[in-house]
């Protein structure tokens, strides 16, 4: 009778130990799974952000290309302006011979006038 009682107690203790071990293992498995899920989500977020960055970087490159072209155009226009300024400074006018003077005056004064209908 006492042996049966002892056996029962031992069985209970064995079950308790097995339960504790199972609970501990289950706890660590659960935590590990949760952790890996979190890591997976973070990896996905990083990948999405990287894609965004790559897309925007391509756009930035295009903008930089356009900017370079515009800068080149600006340099050309500045060069043109410098040439015109130099031309303005070094403006030389040929004096017309006496026989062409009258014709020249008439031509030049009519130049700016609006044409009569």
Partner 1 sequence: MKKILLLSLFVATLSYAQKTKKVAPDTVCFTKEQAADISFVLDSLWAADDINNGLIASYKRLAKKQDSLIELDSIQIVKQDSIITYQKNIVTDLEKKIDLLQPKWNDKKSVWFGFGFITALGSGILVNQLIK
Q: What's the first-to-final CA gap in the chain, in angstroms?
A: 139
How far is 17 from 86, CA to CA, in rounded Å?
A: 100
Q: Would you state the structure tokens that stand for residue 34, as one six-digit string?
A: 């949760």
The correct pick among 8, 17, 26, 29 for binding partner 1 (CB under 8 A) is 17
Q: How far is the CB of 29 from partner 1 (least distance, A)?
A: 11
Binding of residue 15 to partner 1 (CB under 8 A):
no
Using alpha carbons only, give the angle 26, 28, 29 rounded to the nearest 5 degrees: 60
By CB atoms closer than 10 A (0-12, 13-18, 19+), residue 89 is: exposed
Using alpha carbons only, give the angle 111, 85, 113 rounded to the nearest 5 degrees.
10
Q: Compute the least distance from the CB of residue 97 to partner 1, in Å.
A: 9
**Per CB under 8 A, 28 contacts partner 1:** yes
**Residues found near partner 1 in the complex (CB under 8 A):** 6-7, 10, 13-14, 17, 21, 24, 28, 31, 35, 38-39, 42-43, 45-46, 49-50, 52-53, 56-57, 59-60, 63-64, 66-67, 70-71, 73-74, 77-78, 80-81, 84-85, 87-88, 91, 93-96, 98, 100-102, 104-105, 108-109, 111
């Amino acid at each position: 009778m006492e042996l049966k009682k002892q056996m029962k107690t031992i069985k209970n203790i064995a079950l308790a130990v097995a339960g504790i071990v199972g609970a501990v293992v289950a706890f660590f498995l659960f935590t590990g799974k949760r952790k890996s899920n979190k890591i997976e989500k973070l990896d996905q977020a990083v990948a999405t952000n990287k894609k965004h960055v790559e897309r925007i970087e391509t756009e930035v490159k295009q903008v930089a290309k356009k900017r370079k072209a515009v800068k080149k155009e600006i340099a050309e226009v500045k060069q043109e302006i410098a040439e015109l300024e130099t031309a303005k400074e070094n403006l030389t006018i040929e004096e017309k011979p006496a026989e062409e003077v009258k014709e020249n005056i008439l031509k030049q004064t009519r130049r700016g006038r609006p044409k009569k209908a």
